[in-house]
Amino acid sequence: MVPLIKTGGLADVAGSLGMALQDLGCSVRVVLPFYGDLSDLSPPPQSIARTRLHDRDIEIFETNAPQGQRVWLVACPDLFGRRGNPYLDPDGHDWPDNADRFALFCRAIVWLATQQAVADFHVDIVHLNDWPTGLAAALLAREPLAPPTLFSIHNLAYQGIYDRATFERLGLPDELWSIDALEFHGSMSCIKGGIAFADRITTVSPTYAAEIQTPEYGNGLDGLIRHRSHALLGILNGIDSTVWNPTLDPLLRARYSATHLERKSINKRAVQALLGLEPADVPLLGVISRLAHQKGIDLIVALVDTLVSLPAQLAVLGTGDPTLEQALRAASAQYRGRVAYVPRLDESMAHLIEAGADIFLMPSRFEPCGLNQMYSQVYGTVPVVRKTGGLVDTVRPVSGRAGTGFLFGAATSDALLDAIKSAVAAWQKRHTWQAIQRNGMAQDFSWGRSAARYLELYRDMLSTPSDHAR
């Protein structure tokens, strides 16, 4: 949950959707494990409840996030108290006890939702997100007085797969080891629990909702998702337009608007200076991403020689696959002054690159929603994206001076290069480029519309009988 802890786009959603729902009159509590990196919160979180679940003592703490949301933290120090990435050890591997950690977290969710554990808060809806909460949907479906559950799929590729021995060690009910429940090709799938047992399912864009019903994008669960398609809805993520707004952003060297686009170039010069790029008047291509196969970063790496000869500059911010990190380090060394790689997560630099780049590259092989293509448009940075998932739903193809970005089809370097060349050609025509920039800056990607759709869905869930007998 931004700004408390982040590994990906789900954190942005958790940090923004609840606030938007509160603006619509909802009372919201965001539930997180009490991760070690949250132990420095000030003022310190306050204890509000205790219990014992599956032979472990847990304690619930409450705190307020900086943006005003109330947050419940599930504390079990030996499972959640370690610092660093919530899912991965310092070597980038899954924590070996992740199954135990998130099974306990799910049991805590069930307890909070069904036992009136916090006296002043009655739970009407439980909104679960991704595989770490999938077991909660399965366990809640067995509770006769459980509130309705909504399960949101942010990325179907991460499923929480564990073997039969782990299933048994976790003490899960025997009836959940079934092809109709958690069993998945001889293992158990946590995300399958959410898909199979939640009353409703959402994904983070309409196009991704359609894609995951196909073998190409369904990760082996497309049959189940098609079976439950009547309960599935794609609701596009929004962005926090107070945090991501070039007219307000305190992290920029110069704030600007669609009527003062000339000030955007001050940020470009700042990026060039900070990253050791030449102060040249060539297109600056920006990338902010996890370095993963999904994100198509390898397609960019394969084009480095060609990109610098266009001529163009490349600035990449992110960490991930060690092979991709090494390739980017090598490229920045070979093309010093024209390619820069920043191997870290850096929110300030992310804002500055969004503002300073001319073109943003997002060649994802799949992209459930994506946020950076939306940030880019409102910052007047024209995206080049692959035709997939939420990228299709948020970027309008350029035609003349209409549209907001450049899209390509095949997940190949050649197709990406053709789209980049089209963008560079448009960049060279000042008035055409400014028209495309202003088209993007006029888009409304704020959470208000999406939150209203979630609220409509919640109300429908409260008035419609569940698929599952409780």
What fold, for 9-238+448-463? Rossmann fold (3.40.50)
Helix, strand, coil shares of the chain, percent, nearest 5, are 40, 20, 40
* Angle at CA of residue 385, ends 9 and 236, nearest 5°: 45
Q: What is the pTM (predicted TM-score) of this model?
A: 0.93
For residue 134, which amino acid is it? G
Report the C-alpha gap between 78 and 253 in whole angstroms: 43
Q: What three-state secondary structure class fits 44?
A: coil
Q: List all residues 6 or more positions away from 53 whose beta carbon is below 8 Å from its beta carbon.
A: 104, 107, 108, 111
Beta pairing, strands 56-64 & 46-53: antiparallel
- Predicted local distance difference test score (pLDDT) of residue 468: 56
Sequence-ordered list of residues with C-beta below 8 angstroms from that of 342, at least 6 positions apart, any chain: 275, 315, 316, 317, 318, 349
CA distance 180 to 164: 16
User: How far are the Cα atoms of 106, 427, 438 from residue 113, in angstroms, in the given order?
Assistant: 11, 53, 46
> Among all chains, which residue has been given the structure tokens 């069993």?
183
**229 Cβ neighbours under 8 A, 6+ residues apart:** 213
Residues 349, 357 contacting (CB under 8 angstroms): no
Give pLDDT tens digits along the chain (470 positions): 999 998 888 998 999 999 999 999 999 999 999 999 999 999 999 999 999 999 999 999 999 998 889 999 999 999 999 999 999 998 889 999 999 999 999 999 999 999 988 888 999 999 999 999 999 999 999 999 999 999 999 999 999 999 999 999 999 999 999 999 999 999 999 999 999 999 999 999 999 999 999 999 999 999 999 999 999 999 999 998 989 999 999 999 999 999 999 999 999 999 999 999 999 999 999 999 999 999 999 999 999 999 999 999 999 999 999 999 999 999 999 999 999 999 998 999 999 999 999 999 999 999 999 999 999 999 999 999 999 999 999 999 999 999 999 999 999 999 999 999 999 999 999 999 999 999 999 999 999 999 999 999 999 999 987 665 44
CA distance 15 to 13: 5
Type of residue found at 44: P
Question: What's the pLDDT score for residue 467?
Answer: 63
Q: What is the dihedral of CA 221, 225, 226, 231, to 10 degrees?
A: 180
CA-to-CA distance for 212 and 102, rounded, in angstroms?
Answer: 24
Comparing 9-238+448-463 with 261-443, is the CATH topology the same? yes
Task: Give every strand in the sheet of 183-184, ordered side by side.
Answer: 161-162, 187-189, 183-184
- Tokens 């079976």 sit on residue: 227
Backbone angles phi, psi at 393, to 5 degrees: -80, -15
**Strand ranges (DSSP E) for 187-253?**
187-189, 200-203, 232-234
460's CB contacts (< 8 A; 6+ apart) are none
**For the chain, what is the radius of gyration of the CA atoms?**
23
Domain boundaries in the chain? 9-238+448-463, 261-443
Q: How much is the pLDDT for 469? A: 44
- Which of the listed CATH numbers 3.40.50.10490, 3.40.50.2000, 3.40.50.20, 3.20.20.450 matches domain 261-443? 3.40.50.2000
Q: 284-288 and 313-317: which strand pairing?
A: parallel
